[in-house]
């Protein structure tokens, strides 16, 4: 279920349909997304050359997301911890940050706070397996919260949306003024929803 929230407002609208999207790190992820990436890439005119700071301590997740994002035309700047992410954001131009919260060296929320203080116009997507982060993310002015395992097509749509939003929209979100907030709960395959067999 995709949820689109008005930040700082209680109204919630639901969109999308119930499907079983590819799960991050699944063996079918690359084959499932490869056909979509070609058609998505053809539609997108603002993606090529956009620089994404990808912050995740899990090298498997980082490499997998790196492959998907590069196939979509993004330039990926990988970072394995919060401090490295902050250093890279200060050293190079970044258009969007994809930030995991469970960070060694510097906590994800501490990293987010410092990053937005130093670079308030860079949109940030929080990608995490940590539960109960929705209201913290809304109150912090995050562009989106996507729970792991992630819905890759939703991630790509959210990135496109945030990359084209205006400076005024980004500043309004940080100031707590009503703007769109993108949230996607963790995707769970149907195999996890089946009742256990009794023996």
pLDDT digits (tens, 9 = 90+) for 149-168: 999 999 999 999 999 999 99
Token pair listed for 17: 């349909």
Identify the CA nearest to 123 among candidates 112, 131, 109.
112
- Crossing angle of helices 82-91 and 108-118, rounded to 10°: 20
Task: Name residue 15's beta-bridge partners.
Answer: 2
The torsion defined by the Cα of 14, 161, 144 and 192, in degrees rounded to 10, comes to 60
> In the prediction, which pLDDT does 189 show?
52
- How would DSSP label each residue in 50-63? -EEEEE-S-HHHHH
First to last CA, the chain: 33
Token pair listed for 188: 């769970």
> In the prediction, which pLDDT does 92 show?
94
> In the prediction, which pLDDT does 106 show?
78
| φ, ψ (nearest 5 deg) of residue 2 | -90, 135
Spans in the chain with pLDDT lower than 70: 1-48, 103-104, 179, 187-199
pTM of whole model > 0.85? no
Token pair listed for 104: 């060694």
As a whole number of Å, the CA-based R_g of the chain is: 17
Q: How much of the chain is in helix, strand and coil states, percent to nearest 5?
A: 40, 20, 40
* Helix, strand or coil, per DSSP, at residue 9: coil
């Amino acid at each position: 279920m995709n949820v689109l929230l008005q930040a700082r407002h209680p109204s919630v609208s639901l969109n999308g349909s119930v499907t079983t999207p590819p799960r991050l790190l699944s063996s079918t992820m690359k084959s499932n997304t490869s056909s979509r990436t070609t058609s998505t890439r053809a539609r997108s005119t603002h993606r090529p050359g956009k620089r994404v700071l990808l912050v995740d301590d899990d090298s498997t997740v980082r490499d997998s997301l790196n492959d998907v994002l590069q196939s979509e035309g993004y330039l990926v700047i990988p970072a394995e911890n919060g401090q490295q992410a902050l250093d890279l954001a200060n050293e190079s131009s970044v258009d969007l940050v994809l930030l995991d919260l469970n960070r060694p060296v510097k906590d994800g929320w501490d990293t987010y706070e410092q990053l937005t203080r130093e670079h308030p116009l860079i949109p940030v997507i929080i990608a995490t397996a940590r539960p109960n982060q929705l209201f913290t993310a809304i109150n912090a002015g995050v562009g989106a919260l996507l729970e792991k395992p992630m819905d890759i097509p939703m991630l790509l749509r959210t990135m496109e949306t945030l990359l084209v939003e205006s400076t005024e929209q980004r500043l309004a979100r940080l100031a707590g003024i009503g703007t769109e907030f993108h949230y996607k709960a963790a995707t769970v395959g149907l195999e996890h929803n089946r009742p256990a067999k009794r023996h």
